[in-house]
């Protein structure tokens, strides 16, 4: 039987991108049923009364250096935006996460590709993900037809999509989330892990082998 994992993530989080890529690389090797659960990181931070690393100067400085090392180790084209504070605290990710939520409801097989392109836009090429045209381009790169994209963007304003994003965020919080990524190994009693540096422990808990970043399986991005 496949091993069930839920990945709660927000494209505003570069560490979520690492978890996303690694879990996809190990999907076959670990026989994973990987459920992508886009949630709203700002909502989690508020619910948990946590503080983003970017508001702590020493953490922000460390994060900038850390991203460079992680990009090389995981072979993910991570680059800090020119103005991280504006990206993280002014523009945010609400539109992008609603788009992913709508896609999860309507086109679940496209969520992986759209998510990856949104990360590429904000955490590799320093492009805006709050504008509709940017979201359209991400969907086009994700292989969605133009007429379908219009419907998907319109769905972002529908109450059921907004409610679904809220309920996914609440689900993560109820499981103990205080940031992103938040990984849940679904068992009789869920096992939860925070961050993108717990794969050895996740593997140990599931009785499988962690064999490093598996860069040979990196997506062509």
Q: What is the pLDDT of residues 32-69, one digit of tens each?
A: 999 999 999 999 999 999 988 888 889 889 999 999 99
The average pLDDT across 114-140 equals: 97
The answer to whether residue 10 scores a pLDDT higher than 90 is yes
The average pLDDT across 89-98 equals: 96
The answer to whether residue 80 scores a pLDDT higher than 90 is yes
What is the domain class of 3-217 according to CATH?
alpha beta
pLDDT digits (tens, 9 = 90+) for 148-179: 999 999 999 999 999 999 999 999 999 999 99
In terms of DSSP H, where are the helices of 124-206? 132-141, 146-155, 159-174, 199-206
State the pLDDT confidence band at 1, using cuts at 50, 70 and 90. Answer: confident
pLDDT at 56: 87
Contact 100, 118 (CB under 8 A): yes
The answer to whether residue 11 scores a pLDDT higher than 90 is yes
pLDDT digits (tens, 9 = 90+) for 14-42: 999 999 999 999 999 999 999 999 999 99
Spatial strand order in the sheet of 191-194: 32-38, 3-9, 182-186, 191-194
At 65 the three-state DSSP class reads helix
If one compares 1 and 189, the residue with the highest pLDDT of the two is 189
Bridge partners, residue 3, by sequence: 32
Average pLDDT of the chain is 96
Domain residue extents for the chain: 3-217
Q: Could you tell me what percent of the chain has a pLDDT over 90?
A: 92
The average pLDDT across 132-155 equals: 96
């Amino acid at each position: 039987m496949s091993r069930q994992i839920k990945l709660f993530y927000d494209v505003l989080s570069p560490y979520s991108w690492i978890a996303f890529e690694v879990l996809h690389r190990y999907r076959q090797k670990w026989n994973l049923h990987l459920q992508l659960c886009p949630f709203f990181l700002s909502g989690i931070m508020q619910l948990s009364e946590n503080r983003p690393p970017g508001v702590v100067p020493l953490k922000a400085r460390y994060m900038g250096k850390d991203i460079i090392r992680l990009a090389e180790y995981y072979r993910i084209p991570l680059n800090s935006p020119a103005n991280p504070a504006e990206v993280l605290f002014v523009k945010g990710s609400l539109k992008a996460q609603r788009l992913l939520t709508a896609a999860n409801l309507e086109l679940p097989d496209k969520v992986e590709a759209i998510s990856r392109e949104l990360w590429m836009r904000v955490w590799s090429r320093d492009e805006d993900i709050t504008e509709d045209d940017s979201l359209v381009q991400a969907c086009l790169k994700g292989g969605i037809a133009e007429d379908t994209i219009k419907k998907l963007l319109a769905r972002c304003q529908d109450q059921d999509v907004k409610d679904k994003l809220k309920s996914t965020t609440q689900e993560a919080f109820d499981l103990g989330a205080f940031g992103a990524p938040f990984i849940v190994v679904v068992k009789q009693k869920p096992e939860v892990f925070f961050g993108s540096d717990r794969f050895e422990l996740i593997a140990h808990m599931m009785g499988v082998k962690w064999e490093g970043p598996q860069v040979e399986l990196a997506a062509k991005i």
